Structure 1
């Protein structure tokens, strides 16, 4: 963190590449952060065994409705605030700069957990696939390092290059998921299609953990404002990407998780998932059984590529949060620099790459389970962090527009955000009340470690903001202003010199 006196920065190095992303490209970053095959084939497939419920389709519907309510105010706020650190800047301008900085550190932790957790899924699934198909015994962490290097390199390239890679992978994945749905529903266990997974009875005993998994699955829907500085026709792009992303996620997650459990047998799904917890769950074995070996093989390959795509998407999001904080001197100013050749936030990208390497090495040395502990625990804990940020941002929307309606209607600036805040509060209470069930352990360190860590980082952020206010008022005043931060800092310094 830096409180250095303002200097006139390079315009190129302090700005992300503008006008490179249209609606399809921004949607790619949203959808590939929570790719359908990864969510159902890995996250839900593991969740069936740990959480012990088949009620995920209904959980997806409930969370999608809550997030849609939230998105009305979120998108409205994006029309007035353009900043790569979306949650951070919205909280800072809505309910105060200290809370905004606290939220910024929570965001960095949450997105890093989500991103590095994917290295565990990639290594575990690819290792199992190579062992089954080629007889190769390759350690998961070696394969994770391959993905780590791939993400490290692409993270420094032009953002539109990243989006094209994601577009190809996502298009193939959506086609295959649709084929799988047809296979599952045309081969129901017992010859009949059950609607039980859509009922409250299937969900109620495990609602909290199921909501946490569902929130994790939807992470990525909020990505559009993060890329707003690089988007063409920002207002139209952000709104379309946010709501269309939510809709595609809901349909693919809910339909595929339901269809898969119907084909396995609703009364057998949890039992099968628990038996196969360490080998990836029953999703792809069921695909192979009902659709043929080719379907299982194609599904496994696309699952592996979708995990890689999601890792790249989260990497881009995390790097831009670090960039936003560096540009505003909340983090050291070198984080607020971009590469002239690509416009990529280099320091934030490298920082995230170093963290990923450290986590992979730690899990490899300790021998921890890459699927349960690295992917599921860290991924869902990252999702909980995003839930905290969404709730704080929803509250911020209310206060932001109470001070000035800015021409927005009552629904988007008041009614929808109030309803969303109440609903998010309920979901958050359910999640924290059932953390031990969510993680499948009574270990107090594991259950309370992540919430305590989020609280600690939030406090550190708040304290740092207050310190910054005392030692460098221009830097403090620039918090949350995004691309206008340097201009505001320079104007404040010049005004002080005049006085």
Structure 2
């Protein structure tokens, strides 16, 4: 017996490997999905926009609303995870609820959405690294060179066993959350600015002032990636327990961290000054807050950890995308080779290479088109991804209700009907708001918003077309303890 035969995922020589393996606990998976949310990036980039363009000093309440809606979504989502053993998350759950055509449509929409947000982050990290180097006297180089270096590192880590990525993400996440918490504690310890600690988020009239819909959209964008807990099912130590625990923990940590940090930022400046600062100096608001309350070293650390935050998001999205590709390869929606796992690392190594190539192609297209890395690549692509992912969550909530009403595998009304239905209503409203305000998310262009809408719809229809043209694509083995296959 060889050494490789003893490792997770190894099989006899000459056989193909189509299984992933790992012993990830809730903590490791939480690191994966919270890192994808890029907390420091949200604090530095989204908070000022939400305060300035949304509902001002009451913006922190938007995170409480979004967390409540997503907790309702998580009830049905985690209940589904206990019954459905597939690791395709959105795609698998929607397929079990609405059938193979809707499932594959959702899979291709997910691939487009997550690829878009990943490429957007490549643009942001390239520009951020260039600014960091030049601000310290270094040479100015094209942003895409930094992006390519980051892509190579992500590709290396994504090729290897998932536990290596988990350890890297754990360290990076602690750093970025740690510096923000230091600033939060300093602001609270000082009692806020001259006006004291803000109470605007506690007053409904303040929340509904300005543009609360815009505030909710930008707040919701900060949760992208939390739902990916189910994608790591095959690599979890005890999926039935680990996935639900990780989902709730990630959601509560993200929502609590954002609500606290946005409230601290508003309090640091005062209700009125926070709005004016967010409007006039959005890019430097966090750095100025850190410098003002902690010191210049904290301001420098914010700039450094912003880079590591973006890198952590890239690695997380890469891992999510490769597991979608892996699942689609194993169900023959994509070439079967995409569903192979590495003998030694038990990783989706071919899917990882495919994902790296796809991101490279899109990034090169952006460079050739001469797009600005932040104002266009990051803004446009993340805006498109936000619409796609909210739609996927909405469809998943509906699929949970349909699945359990049809199969009766779980008859608990709160878990399978009431909470998922309430989550569906909340997410449907957010989907409409996001779609209507898409032009704002992509720089105010109605034409560009229309093009993005067509691309998102085309991805879904393309997946459905694959289901029609390839009758065996997307069919899965026993994904439920009681249900043996998707027959539609």
Normalised to the residue count of structure 2, the TM-score between the two structures is 0.90
Is residue 2:277 matched to residue 1:272?
yes
Find the counterpart in structure 1 of residue 4 from structure 2. Answer: none
Find the counterpart in structure 1 of residue 199 from structure 2. Answer: 195
> In the TM superposition, what whole-angstrom CA distance separates every residue of 1:3-26 from its partner, at most 9, and x where no partner exists?
xxxxxx987511112x42111111
Find the counterpart in structure 2 of residue 173 from structure 1. Answer: 176
Find the counterpart in structure 2 of residue 248 from structure 1. Answer: 253
Which secondary structure state, in structure 2, belongs to the residue aligned with residue 189 of structure 1?
coil
Cα distance in 1 between the residues matched to 2:380 and 2:344: 37
1:437 deviates by 3.0
Which secondary structure state, in structure 2, belongs to the residue aligned with residue 190 of structure 1?
coil
Is residue 2:30 matched to residue 1:23?
no
Pair 408,76 (structure 1): closer, same or farther in 2 beyond 3 Å:
farther
> In the TM superposition, what whole-angstrom CA distance separates every residue of 1:244-302 from its partner, at most 9, and x where no partner exists?
1111101111111221122234323344344445xx34221221233211011111111
> In the TM superposition, what whole-angstrom CA distance separates every residue of 1:346-391 from its partner, at most 9, and x where no partner exists?
2321222123223333333433222222223312321221111000
Find the counterpart in structure 2 of residue 461 from structure 1. Answer: 463
> In the TM superposition, what whole-angstrom CA distance separates every residue of 1:177-212 from its partner, at most 9, and x where no partner exists?
211102233263334222224544455442333222
Cα distance in 1 between the residues matched to 2:137 and 2:386: 35
Do the aligned partners of 1:102 and 1:461 also contact (CA within 8 Å) in 2?
A: yes
Find the counterpart in structure 2 of residue 5 from structure 1. Answer: none
Find the counterpart in structure 1 of residue 17 from structure 2. Answer: 13
Do the aligned partners of 1:46 and 1:376 also contact (CA within 8 Å) in 2?
A: no
Pair 415,254 (structure 1): closer, same or farther in 2 beyond 3 Å:
same
Do the aligned partners of 1:34 and 1:217 also contact (CA within 8 Å) in 2?
A: yes
Superposed, 1:110-259 pairs within 5 Å as 110-185=113-188, 186=190, 188-197=192-201, 199-204=203-208, 205-259=210-264
1:115 deviates by 1.2
Which secondary structure state, in structure 1, belongs to the residue aligned with residue 211 of structure 2?
helix
Given candidates 391, 401, 406, the residue that maps to 1:403 is 406
Given candidates 444, 447, 454, the residue that maps to 1:445 is 447
1:424 deviates by 1.1
Do the aligned partners of 1:51 and 1:438 also contact (CA within 8 Å) in 2?
A: no
**RMSD of the TM alignment (CA)?**
2.5
Given candidates 328, 331, 335, the residue that maps to 1:332 is 335
Specify every segment of 5 or more residues in structure 2 that has no aligned partner in the other structure, as ranges: 1-12
Cα distance in 1 between the residues matched to 2:349 and 2:470: 25
Find the counterpart in structure 2 of residue 298 from structure 1. Answer: 301
Pair 439,209 (structure 1): closer, same or farther in 2 beyond 3 Å:
farther
Do the aligned partners of 2:126 and 2:146 also contact (CA within 8 Å) in 1?
A: yes
Find the counterpart in structure 1 of residue 475 from structure 2. Answer: 478
1:233 deviates by 1.1
1:439 deviates by 3.2
Cα distance in 1 between the residues matched to 2:448 and 2:290: 33
Given candidates 38, 53, 63, the residue that maps to 1:60 is 63
1:438 deviates by 3.2
Size of the alignment, in residue pairs? 471
Pair 159,23 (structure 1): closer, same or farther in 2 beyond 3 Å:
same
Cα distance in 1 between the residues matched to 2:277 and 2:393: 34
Normalised to the residue count of structure 1, the TM-score between the two structures is 0.88
